[in-house]
Structures are given as C-alpha cells and as structure tokens.
C-alpha cells in the first residue's frame, strides 16, 4: 500500500531509511470514489495527499457552477490546496477525484511533526512548491494567449496521456475553451 510513497521518498535521496520509515507512518491510506472532494473551495484544507492510484483536478467555480480547472494530478504526485493547508486559510480552489482514488493522507499536525523530527522534509516541501510554480508558469508561457486549436495540438503533443485520460469537458476547461470548441479542434486535427 505504501510501497509507492516509500519508493518516491527514497528516490529523493534526502531521507535515511529510518526517516523514510518514520515518515510513512504519518500517512493514512484512504480510498475515495470518483467525484468525491479532497477540499472544497472556501473551506480550510486539512489534508495533503500522495496519490497511489487515480487522479484529481483542481479548480475554482463561480456562482453559476462553471468549473475552471487549473491542474490535474495523478499517481505518484502530491496534491493539496497549498496556501490553505499551510496557512489555514479558506481554500481558493476545490480538489476533486476524477477517478476512483487510493490516497495517502497527512494532516498539517503530522506534517509539522515530521518537519520537527526530520529537517530534510523542509527541503522536500521547498522542492514541491518549486515544481508547482514551474508547472504553472510552464502552462501560462505555453498556453496563454493561444487560439483554441493551437492549445489542443500543444496538449496532444506535450501531454498525450492527459488528453487520453481526462474527459473532454475537463480538458476543455483546462485549456480555457468550451467542449464544443474542443470537438472542433479534434475534428480538424483528423
């Protein structure tokens, strides 16, 4: 169950074997169904999760319920509403399972404990934040200010697995276009 996380933490080469072991104990496994929420926009996020199986989407939604997806996460990635989790503020976004998921969760309290006992966790978190920033910038630099067809072709090229895996409506939201426009782009690509 925790084998993937164990391997992930080991591969970072920042923790001793004992540290990895101690760290694993701080995570609790949970299975959730497709459609369940890890966090709801406006609520304080009290968990970060390592995804063992499945995938999630992060998004904001307006009063009319339109979803604005800004990121997906899958196996062997962490997911949380970063600001909300660390600063205990209402979350600006929701995180929802787009597939049945198996997660390893950790509460802020347990994470604080890890940080006190194992200083290297500080490095790990720094790196996660950095990667997250780089990912957001990469998205903006590549997709922002591009017409729909180009964005679709780009996603096909840069993230074919994502295109295959998420449903059309979610991919469209991520690309900042409507489902109808995505269909047209697909059709023209044939």
Partner DNA sequence: TGCAGTTCAGGACAAATGTCCTTTTTAGTC
Partner DNA sequence: GACTAAAAAGGACATTTGTCCTGAACTGCA
The footprint of DNA on this chain (CB under 7 A) covers a number of residues equal to 18
Alpha carbon distance 109, 102 (integer Å) = 21
Window 49-78: contact mask with a second copy (x via CB under 8 A): -----------x-----x-x-x--------
Q: Which does 148 bind (CB under 5 to 8 A by kind): a second copy, DNA, none?
A: DNA
* 120: its two tokens: 């290297």
Q: Binding DNA by CB under 7 A: which of 127, 147, 158, 189?
A: 147
Q: Positive or negative CA dihedral for 22, 26, 31, 33? A: negative
3-state helix, strand, coil in the chain (%, to 5): 50, 20, 30
Strand duo 67-73 + 37-39: pairing? unpaired
Please tell me whether residue 182 binds DNA under the rule CB under 7 A: yes
Residue from 60, 149, 154, 156 touching DNA (CB under 7 A): that is 149
Least distance in Å: CB of 124 to DNA?
Answer: 34
Choose one: 15-23, 142-150, 159-167, 180-188; the region binding a second copy (CB under 8 A).
142-150
Nearest to 132 by CA among 72, 51, 54: 72
Distance (Å, rounded) from C-alpha 24 to C-alpha 10?
Answer: 11
Binding characters for a second copy, 143-162, by CB under 8 A (x = yes): -xxx----------------
């Amino acid at each position: 169950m925790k084998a993937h996380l164990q391997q992930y933490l080991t591969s970072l080469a920042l923790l001793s074997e004992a540290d990895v072991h101690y760290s694993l104990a701080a995570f609790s496994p949970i299975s959730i169904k497709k459609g369940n929420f890890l966090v709801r926009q406006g609520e304080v996020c009290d968990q970060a999760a390592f995804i063992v199986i499945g995938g999630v989407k992060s998004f904001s939604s307006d009063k009319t319920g339109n979803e604005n997806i800004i990121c997906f996460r899958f196996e062997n990635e962490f997911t949380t509403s970063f600001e909300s989790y660390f600063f205990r503020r209402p979350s600006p976004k929701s995180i929802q399972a787009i597939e049945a998921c198996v997660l390893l969760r950790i509460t802020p309290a347990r994470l604080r404990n890890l940080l006190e006992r194992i200083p290297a966790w500080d490095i790990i978190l720094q790196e996660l934040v950095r990667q997250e920033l780089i990912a957001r910038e990469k998205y903006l630099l590549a997709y922002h200010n591009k017409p729909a067809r180009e964005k679709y072709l780009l996603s096909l090229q840069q993230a074919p697995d994502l295109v295959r895996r998420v449903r059309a409506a979610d991919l469209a939201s991520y690309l900042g276009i409507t489902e109808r426009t995505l269909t047209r782009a697909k059709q023209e690509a044939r």
